[in-house]
Structure 1
Amino acid sequence: MLISLSWLREFVPYEGDVQNLGDRLTMLGLELEGIHDPFAEIAQVVVGHVTECARHPESDHLSVCSVDIGTGELLSIVCGAPNVAAGQKVPVAPVGSTLPGGLQIKKAKLRGVPSMGMICSERELGLSEAHEGILVLPDSCGVGRPLTEALNLERTVLDISITPNRADCLSVLGIARETALAFGLPLTMPSCAVEEGGEDAAGLLALEIADGELCPLYQARLLSGVRMGKAPDWMRYRLTAVGLRPISNIVDVTNYVMMELGHPLHAFDRDLLAGAKIRVAPAIDGMLFTTLDGQERKLLASDLLIWDGEKPVALAGVMGGLNSEIGDGTTEVALECAVFRPGTIRRTARRLALPSEASYRFERGVDQVGARLAVDRAARLMAEVSGARVLRGVVTAEPKPWTTRVHGFRLGRCNDLLGLELAPEFARETFTRMGCLVDESDAARWSVTTPPWRLDLEREVDLSEELARVYGVDRIPAVLPRVAKSLDVVGREEGEFAFNRRIKAWASGVGLREVVNYSFVGQKDLDLLCLEGGCRIAIANPLTEEQNVLRTAVAPSLLQNLKHNIAQGNARLRLFELARVYFEDQDSETRAREHTRLGILLHGPRFAEDWPWPLEDADYLDAKGLVEGLFEHLKLGRPEFAALDGHCFLEPAVAVSLEGKTLGTLGRVKADMADAHHARREVWMADLDVDLLRALHTARKVEFRPLPTFPPVRRDVTVTCPGGLAAESVRRTIQELRPQFLESVEMVDLFTPAPDKDERNLTFRLTYRHSARTLKDKEVDKEHGKMVDGLLQKLPVRL
C-alpha cells in the first residue's frame, strides 16, 4: 500500500520524521517496506520561460526556442511540439539530466542548430500518457524552480505492507487513524457535503438485490450535465504518485476516493443503462461477459453481476463492463457504492485471474457504514472537476443492515494473557481513540462497541491484542508460559500437523534428511517423468518457465535435489519430503484437489565412507526396509509388496498395500530419467499416500498388554528353497502352522551357495514364550519339530 506523506498530513497533523513514523507503524503491525520519491527521476527538471520561438530554418515541424531557466544565460533548445510558443512557462530538462526510462539529455545538433536541453511533455516526464504537445505550466511558476516544487508533487511515499486482516488500512484514512492512535493526534475528515439539485434520484433509478447475503448494501448517486475531460493536475499527479494511472476526471475521482477512504466505487454511463434499473444478481452458468479490458470471460453461477434492466453491465466488485463504460461523450453518470460478500469476490477474481484494486479491498471487507461517506465524497469531487449537477438523494437498497458489534472485555483476563499490568485508564483511552464506545457499568466486564471499519475485531482476545500493539509488543517482557496438559486429551484423534510431525521425527531418526521444495515445477519436469498431463494446474503468472505448474508428484522435486547435490559433489543421499501435490478438480471451490505425499529417495553407497563395511550401493532392500520401518513405527502391521508393470518412471516397481488398499509405490527410477538428472548410480524412490496412512493409523485402537515376565526360547531354521519362492511366503506359512507358544518369526539371513543354481538358503528365527511359566527345551523342540515337518510338506523346500 503506497501512502503519500503530504496526503496523510491532510488527515492528521503529523510533522515528525518520516522514518520515525514508519517505525511506529511497523510496531503497530503495519510494516514499513520502504520510503521512496515517486518523482525522483524528474528531480533535475526545472521551470523554464520561452522568451523567443522561431521556425527551424531546415525543418517545417521543428522550432528553435530561447529558454530562460534562471541561470542568467538563455538556452537554445530545438523542440518538435506543435504547441510551443513564446511567453510560455515550460518544464526543461537541462543537459546532464536523466528522464524516466533512462533518457540522458546531452548537447546535440538538430539539423545544424545546437540544442542545449529538452522541453518535455507529460509522457516524457512520466506524469501521464499525454504527448500531443509539451506541458505548459501556469504563469505563477517561478523560473528556475524545480518542477517538483512548482507542481507541488508528492516527494515522500511510504510503502506499507498491510496484513490481510487489516482491510481498514488500505486507504489514507486508515493509515491516518493508526497515526493518530500512535501519536495522540486529532483526525480531520475530508469535506463530503454535497450540493444537490434537480430531480429526485429515487424516481429515476430502481434498485433490486436478489440476495442480501451476497450484497448487503447498494447505493447510487446520479449526476447530470457531466463534462468529460482531464482531472485537475493535483489529482492526476497524486494518483500517479501512489501507482495509479490517470484516465479521465470521472474515473480518476472514483480511484481517488478509493485510495483516500478505502471504499471502491464504479461509475456507469447512465445513458447506456437500459430500463432505468440496476439489479444485483448471480451470473447464468456459462454465460459470456466482456469486461473493461476488452476480454470476453466465461462466468459461473457463483459469480456476482450488476445488471441493468436487460443485460449485465459489471462484474461485481472486480471490473466494470465494456457496454457501460464512461467515455468522452458521457453526460449522465450513475455512481455506484456497494458492499459485496468477500468470499464471492475472492473466488471470481482468483478464477478469472483478474485482480484489481477494487477486488483487493472487497475480498478483505469494506466499511458498510462508511459507504455513504465515500459516495458523497465522490459526488462532491465529480461535481467540482466536471461541472456536473448532483441530483437530489441517494438511491439505496440495504437488505442486510449493519449490525453493531458489542464485545465483553475483562481487563484482568487481558493482563493475564499479556503478562502485564495495564491500567484501566490506558485501556479506556486506547479503545476510545480507536473509535470504540466503552461501557464500564460493570467494572469487571466492560462492554466495548467496535467501529464498523474494524472488521477484524471479532472477539474479546482481539481487543487484548489491540492493547498489546498500542502498548508496544516490543515492550512486553519475554516469559516462558506455564504449560499444563490435561489427561482429557488422551485418546483424542491426532491432528494432521501432529501426524506429519510424527512421520518427520521417524524419518530423521532413521537417517533421512528432510528437503523442502516449492510446490511449483516445470511442465518439462513432469513430462520427463511421463506424468499425466490432463490434471495439471498451470500457474497464471509464473516466476520462471521452470516453475510454471503445480506438481502432481514429489518425485520431480526430489530428483532436482539429487541433480543439485551431485553437482556439488555429494553423491550419497538419503532424502525425504513430506509435502502436498495438486490435481485439477473443477468441482472444488479452488479448482484444485490436494493430497499429502511422502517421498523417499536413496542414491549412492549404503554406508558412509568411514563405515568399516564394503561400500555397496543402496538397493531395493534398503528402500523396502524403510517402508516397512515406517509401517512398524505407525503400528500398521506388515505391508504387502506386489510387482507393478508399466509405471511411468519406476522400473522395476512394486505397489505397497495394506488391507487391500494401495498406499503407494516403490522402485528404481528408470535409467534414462536418472541419467537426465546426472545420476550414474541406481536411484531408488518410494512414494506413499500420507492421507491414507493417517486414516489407517487413526483407525487403529491402542491396546495395552503386560510386559513378558518369563524368558523366551529361540530356535533357528534354515531351509533351501527355489529362487522364485518369496521369503514372505515361507514366513507366512510358518505363522499359518501356528506352533504352540510361538511369539514371532523373523528372517535373519539369506545365502546363495552356488551362483549357477537357482536356489538360496533362508534362515528364520522363531521365538517361543509362555505367558505364565518358563518353557522347557523339550516342549519347544516338540513344537518346533512339528512346524518343520509341516513346512516341508506345504512348500518345495528342504533342510
Structure 2
Amino acid sequence: MLLSLNWLREFVPYEGSVDTLADRLTMLGLEVEGVSRPFAATADVVVGHVLTREKHPDADKLSVCTVDVGQGEPLQIVCGAANVAAGLSVPVARIGTVLPGGLTIKKSKIRGVESFGMICSESELGLAEKSEGILELPAGLKPGKTLAEAMNLDDVVLEIGITPNRADCLSVLGLAREAAMAFGLPLTMPSVHLKEDGPDASTLVSIRIPEPELCPVYRARIIRGVEIKASPAWMRYRLTAMGQRPVNNIVDVTNYVMLELGQPLHAFDRNLLAGDYIEISRAAEGTRFNTLDGQERVLTTRDLLIRDGAKAVALAGVMGGENSEISDRSTEVLLECAVFNPATIRKTARRLGLSSESSYRYERGVDQPGSLFAMNRAAALMAEVADGRVLPGIAEAEPKPWKPSPIGFRPAKAVSLLGIELSNDFCRKTFQGLGCEVELKSADAWTITPPPARQDLEREVDLIEEVARVYGMDRIPAAMPKMLKSLEVPDRLGAEVPFMGRLKTWACGAGLRETVNYSFVGQQELDLLGLPGEGRVPVANPLSEDQNVMRTELAPGLMKAVRHNLSQGNATLRLFELAKAFTADSASETTVREAHRLGIALCGARFGSFPWPEEKVDYSDLKGLVEQLLSSLGLSGAQYAVQKDHPWLSPCVQVSLDGRVLGVMGRVLQDVADSYEAKAGLWMAELDAEALMALHQHRSIRFRGLPKFPPSRRDVTLVMPSTLSVAEVLGAARAHKAAILEDVAVHDLFEPEGATEKNVTFRITYRHAERTLTDKDVDKAHAGLCDALSKALPVRFQ
C-alpha cells in the first residue's frame, strides 16, 4: 500500500518528519518498506509567466517567448508548442535543470535565436504518459515558485507492507486512523457536498440478490449529464504518485475514492445497461465474459456476476465488462458500491489469474457501513469534476445488514498474558483510538465493540494483541516463562516427547526410512480403505478436494508415499511414519481426539539390491519388526491373533499385550494395493504409539550380573501337528519351572508340502548361576522338560 504524506495530512494534522512517521507505523505492525519522492525530478522546475510571444524569424512552428521566472530579468525561451501564448502560467526548466527523462537543460541557439531554458509539457515532467503541447498552469501562480509547491505535488510517498488481516489499512483513511491514534491527533473525514436534482434513483433501478451470503449489500447512484474528459491536475497527479494510471474523470474518481477510503467502486455507462434492474448472482457453468482488459473469461458456478436485464456486465468484485465501460460518449453513470463475500472473490481472482486493486480489497473484507459514505463521496466528486447532476435517492438492497460483534475484555488477562503492567486508562484510550466502543461493566470486565472496518478483531486475544501493538512490542521485555511444575515430577507431555523420539530412533536403526505426510486426506481415500464415515473430521476450508478431511489412520499417507516411490523406480521400500490420527470426539475440549500412531510399510525385495536369491518381503519380515520393537521397549508376552473382516488388510493379525490392543499388521488387500501401484504386494502395520508408551512406562527395569559360568545347549526336534502353533510349545516349555532352564528358542522348521505334521527344532539353553553344570545335571533337567512337553502337548520326539 502506497501512502502520500500530503494526502495523509488532509486527514491528520501530522507535522513530524517522515522518518518518525515511518518508525512509528513500523512499530505498530505496518512495516514501512520504502520511502520515495515520485516527482523529485521536478524539484528544480519553477512557475513561469509568459510575458510575450513572438513568431520565430526563421521557423514557422517555433515561437520566441519572454518568460518571468521571478528572478531578475525575464528569460528568452524558444518554444515549439502550438498552445504557448502571452499571459499563460507555465512550468519552466532553467539552465542546469535535469528533467525526469535525463535531459539536462543547457543554453542553446535554435535557428539563430538564443534560448535560456525550456517550457515543459506534462510528459516531459513525468506527470503523464503522453501530452500535447505545454502544460498550462492555473492562473495567478507566483512566478519563481517551485512547481511541486505550486501544484501541491505529493513529494513523499511511503510504501507500507500490509499483513492480510489488516484490510482496514488498505486506504489512506485506515492508515490515517493509525497515525491519529499513535500521535494523539484528531481525525478529519473528507467533506461530502451533494447537490441532488431530478427523479428519485431508487424508483429507476431495482436490485436483486438471490444469495445474500454472496453479496450482503449492493447500492447504486445515478449521475446524469456527465462530460467525459481528463481529470483535474490535482487528481491526476495524486493518482500517479499512488501508482495508478489516470484514465478519465469518472474512472479516476472511483480509483481515487478506493485509495482514499478503501471501498472499491465501479462506474457503468447507464445507457449501455438493459432493463431497470441489477442482479448479483452466480454465473452459469461455461459462461463466457469479456472483461475490461479485452480478455474472454470462461466462468464457473463459483464465480459471481453482475447482470442487467439482458446480459452480464461485470465480474463481481474483480473487473467490469467491455459491454458497459465508460467511454467518451458516456453521458449517464450508474455508480456501483457493494460488499461481496471475500472467499468467492478470492477464488475467482486466483482461478482466472486476474488480480485487481478491487479484488485485493474485497478478498480481505471491506467496511460495510462505511460503503455508503464512500459512494456519496464518489458521487459528489463526479459532479464536481465531470459537471454531472446527482439524482436523489439510492437504489439499494441489503439482505444481510452488518451487525456489531461485542467482545469481552479483561485488563487483568492482558497484564497476565503480556507480562507487563498496563493501566486501565491506557487500555481504554487505546480502544477508543482504534475506533472501538468501550463499555465498562466492571473494573475487570469490559465489553469492546470493534468498528466495522476492523474485521480482524474477533476474540479477546485479538484485543490484547492490539493493546500490545500500541504499547510497543519492542518495549515488552524478554522473560523466561514461569515453571509451575517441578522438574522432578515428569508429566505426560514431558514423557511423550522423548518416547516418540525413541520410536523414531528405533525405526531408523531397524533400517526404515521416515515419511512425513499431510494430516489432510480425501474422503475418497478413506472410502477406498473401507474406513467408517463416523468420526471423520472435515476440513472447513480445504486446499483441494483430495485434502478435505483429517486422516483417521496413517495408512492413506503411507500408501501415497509407496506409490510415489514406485513411480520413481524405487521398488524396495521400508517406510515408517510417526504422526497423529484424528477422530471426532464431542467429549474432547477441541471436539477432536488426536492419537499418536506408528505406521510401517514394507514392499519389494527382502534383501534390496544385493545379489542374493530374489525373495519378496512377507509376514515374517513385518512381524519380526514388530517383535523387535516390543523387545526394545522391554515388552514381552504379546499375543497375536487373526482378525477377520478388517477393511483393508487380509490376512490381518491383531497385536495385543496385557489385554490392551496395540494395533494390527498384515497384507494390504490386493485391489487396494493395486490402486497405489503396489502390484507385488504391500505389507503394513499400524500401532498405537500411546498404548506402547503407557505399557513401557509401567515396565520396571531390572539389572542382573553377567553370567560367570558357561551354558550347556541341547537341540531337540519335535514332530507336531500342523495346527499346533510354535508359540504354544514355547509357552509350555517356559512354564516348566526347571531351576537351570535359561532359554528356549526355535532353531529350525520343516513342514512338508501337503503334510499334516511339521518338524520343529528347538535349542534349549541350561545354565547354573553359581557353578559349572555337569552332564548329569543337564540330562536330568532335559529329560524332565521333554517329559513335560509330551504330557502337555500332542508331540513326539524325533
Category of TM-score, reference length = shorter chain: 0.5 to 0.7
Which residue number corresponds to residue 466 of structure 1? 466
Which residue number corresponds to residue 375 of structure 2? 375
Which residue number corresponds to residue 122 of structure 1? 122
CA distance in 2, matches of 1:503, 1:212: 54
Cα pair 2:600 2:685 within 8 Å, conserved? no
TM-superposition CA deviations, 1:732-775 (whole Å, max 9, x none): xxxx9779659xxxxxxxxxxxxxxxxxxxxxxxxxx9699799
In the TM superposition, residue 394 of structure 1 has moved relative to its aligned partner by 1.4
In the TM superposition, residue 484 of structure 1 has moved relative to its aligned partner by 6.3
CA distance in 2, matches of 1:151, 1:223: 29
Cα pair 2:253 2:378 within 8 Å, conserved? yes
Which residue number corresponds to residue 332 of structure 1? 332
Tell me the SS of whatever aligns to 2:47.
strand
Matched, 1:409 2:409: yes
Query: Where in structure 2 are the equivalents of 1:418-567 lying within 5 Å?
Result: 418-482=418-482
Tell me the SS of whatever aligns to 1:236.
helix
Which residue number corresponds to residue 83 of structure 1? 83
Residue type at the aligned position of 1:99: L
Cα pair 1:710 1:773 within 8 Å, conserved? no
Cα pair 2:668 2:684 within 8 Å, conserved? no
Which residue number corresponds to residue 768 of structure 2? none
Residues 774 and 382 of structure 1: CA distance in aligned 2, closer, same or farther (over 3 Å): farther
In the TM superposition, residue 23 of structure 1 has moved relative to its aligned partner by 1.1
CA distance in 2, matches of 1:504, 1:136: 80
Residues 655 and 230 of structure 1: CA distance in aligned 2, closer, same or farther (over 3 Å): farther
Residues 697 and 130 of structure 1: CA distance in aligned 2, closer, same or farther (over 3 Å): farther
TM-superposition CA deviations, 1:208-229 (whole Å, max 9, x none): 1111100001111111111111
In the TM superposition, residue 246 of structure 1 has moved relative to its aligned partner by 1.0
In the TM superposition, residue 44 of structure 1 has moved relative to its aligned partner by 2.8
Tell me the SS of whatever aligns to 2:413.
helix
Which residue number corresponds to residue 182 of structure 2? 182
TM-superposition CA deviations, 1:191-217 (whole Å, max 9, x none): 124121111111111111111100001
CA distance in 2, matches of 1:88, 1:774: 122
Residues 91 and 784 of structure 1: CA distance in aligned 2, closer, same or farther (over 3 Å): same
Tell me the SS of whatever aligns to 1:98.
coil
Which residue number corresponds to residue 141 of structure 1? 141
Which residue number corresponds to residue 638 of structure 2? none
CA distance in 2, matches of 1:420, 1:225: 61
CA distance in 1, matches of 2:149, 2:685: 68
CA distance in 2, matches of 1:643, 1:695: 18
Which residue number corresponds to residue 642 of structure 1? 604
Tell me the SS of whatever aligns to 2:391.
strand
Corresponding residue pairs, total: 632
Query: Where in structure 2 are the equivalents of 1:645-794 lying within 5 Å?
Result: 659-660=666-667, 696=686, 702=692, 704=695, 706=699, 780=744, 787=748
CA distance in 2, matches of 1:592, 1:67: 71
Cα pair 2:666 2:685 within 8 Å, conserved? no
Cα pair 1:266 1:337 within 8 Å, conserved? yes
Residue type at the aligned position of 1:57: D
Which residue number corresponds to residue 282 of structure 2? 282
Residue type at the aligned position of 2:695: F
Residues 791 and 468 of structure 1: CA distance in aligned 2, closer, same or farther (over 3 Å): farther
Tell me the SS of whatever aligns to 1:455.
coil
CA distance in 2, matches of 1:38, 1:437: 39
Cα pair 2:601 2:684 within 8 Å, conserved? no
Residue type at the aligned position of 2:187: L
Tell me the SS of whatever aligns to 1:266.
strand
Query: Where in structure 2 are the equivalents of 1:225-240 lying within 5 Å?
Result: 225-240=225-240
Which residue number corresponds to residue 316 of structure 2? 316
Residues 457 and 741 of structure 1: CA distance in aligned 2, closer, same or farther (over 3 Å): same
Residue type at the aligned position of 1:261: L
In the TM superposition, residue 182 of structure 1 has moved relative to its aligned partner by 0.9
CA distance in 2, matches of 1:581, 1:63: 77
Tell me the SS of whatever aligns to 2:452.
coil
In the TM superposition, residue 789 of structure 1 has moved relative to its aligned partner by 6.5
Which residue number corresponds to residue 250 of structure 1? 250
Residue type at the aligned position of 1:124: E
In the TM superposition, residue 287 of structure 1 has moved relative to its aligned partner by 0.6
CA distance in 2, matches of 1:244, 1:367: 22
Residues 215 and 636 of structure 1: CA distance in aligned 2, closer, same or farther (over 3 Å): closer
Which of 428-437 and 292-301 deviates more? 428-437
Residue type at the aligned position of 1:237: Y
Residues 393 and 504 of structure 1: CA distance in aligned 2, closer, same or farther (over 3 Å): farther
CA distance in 1, matches of 2:702, 2:507: 33
Which residue number corresponds to residue 757 of structure 1? none
Query: Where in structure 2 are the equivalents of 1:200-215 lying within 5 Å?
Result: 200-215=200-215
Tell me the SS of whatever aligns to 2:406.
strand
Which residue number corresponds to residue 307 of structure 1? 307
CA distance in 1, matches of 2:507, 2:106: 64
Which residue number corresponds to residue 158 of structure 1? 158
Which residue number corresponds to residue 55 of structure 2? 54
When normalised by structure 1's length, the TM-score is: 0.68
Residue type at the aligned position of 1:131: S
**Which runs of 5 or more structure 1 residues have no equivalent in the other structure?**
513-574, 601-619, 645-651, 663-686, 718-735, 743-768
Residue type at the aligned position of 1:293: D
TM-superposition CA deviations, 1:411-439 (whole Å, max 9, x none): 22221111123222222222222222222
CA distance in 1, matches of 2:400, 2:736: 74
CA distance in 2, matches of 1:202, 1:49: 50
**Which runs of 5 or more structure 2 residues have no equivalent in the other structure?**
522-540, 548-555, 563-569, 580-595, 607-613, 623-664, 670-676, 714-724, 760-798
In the TM superposition, residue 134 of structure 1 has moved relative to its aligned partner by 1.8
Which of 176-185 and 61-70 deviates more? 61-70
Residue type at the aligned position of 2:142: G
Cα pair 1:208 1:278 within 8 Å, conserved? yes
Residues 447 and 774 of structure 1: CA distance in aligned 2, closer, same or farther (over 3 Å): farther
Cα pair 1:506 1:630 within 8 Å, conserved? no
In the TM superposition, residue 87 of structure 1 has moved relative to its aligned partner by 4.2
Residues 348 and 740 of structure 1: CA distance in aligned 2, closer, same or farther (over 3 Å): same
Cα pair 1:53 1:86 within 8 Å, conserved? no
Residues 426 and 295 of structure 1: CA distance in aligned 2, closer, same or farther (over 3 Å): same
Tell me the SS of whatever aligns to 2:214.
coil
Residue type at the aligned position of 1:275: G
CA distance in 2, matches of 1:291, 1:333: 18
Residues 695 and 47 of structure 1: CA distance in aligned 2, closer, same or farther (over 3 Å): farther
Residues 778 and 278 of structure 1: CA distance in aligned 2, closer, same or farther (over 3 Å): closer
In the TM superposition, residue 85 of structure 1 has moved relative to its aligned partner by 3.5
Cα pair 1:582 1:592 within 8 Å, conserved? no
CA distance in 1, matches of 2:261, 2:501: 49
Residue type at the aligned position of 2:310: E
Higher Cα radius of gyration: 2
CA distance in 1, matches of 2:412, 2:438: 16
Cα pair 1:29 1:469 within 8 Å, conserved? yes
CA distance in 2, matches of 1:313, 1:425: 52
CA distance in 1, matches of 2:505, 2:290: 55
Query: Where in structure 2 are the equivalents of 1:566-645 lying within 5 Å?
Result: 639-642=601-604
Residues 582 and 240 of structure 1: CA distance in aligned 2, closer, same or farther (over 3 Å): farther
Residue type at the aligned position of 1:253: V
CA distance in 2, matches of 1:136, 1:777: 113
Cα pair 1:168 1:174 within 8 Å, conserved? yes
CA distance in 2, matches of 1:90, 1:788: 107
Cα pair 1:708 1:771 within 8 Å, conserved? no
CA-based RMSD of the aligned residues comes to 5.1
CA distance in 1, matches of 2:56, 2:557: 75
When normalised by structure 2's length, the TM-score is: 0.68
TM-superposition CA deviations, 1:486-525 (whole Å, max 9, x none): 9999699x9xxx99x9699869998x9xxxxxxxxxxxxx
Cα pair 2:600 2:684 within 8 Å, conserved? no
CA distance in 1, matches of 2:736, 2:410: 62
TM-superposition CA deviations, 1:119-159 (whole Å, max 9, x none): 33212222123422221223323333322122110111111
In the TM superposition, residue 327 of structure 1 has moved relative to its aligned partner by 0.9
Which residue number corresponds to residue 355 of structure 2? 355
CA distance in 2, matches of 1:661, 1:20: 66
Cα pair 1:41 1:99 within 8 Å, conserved? yes
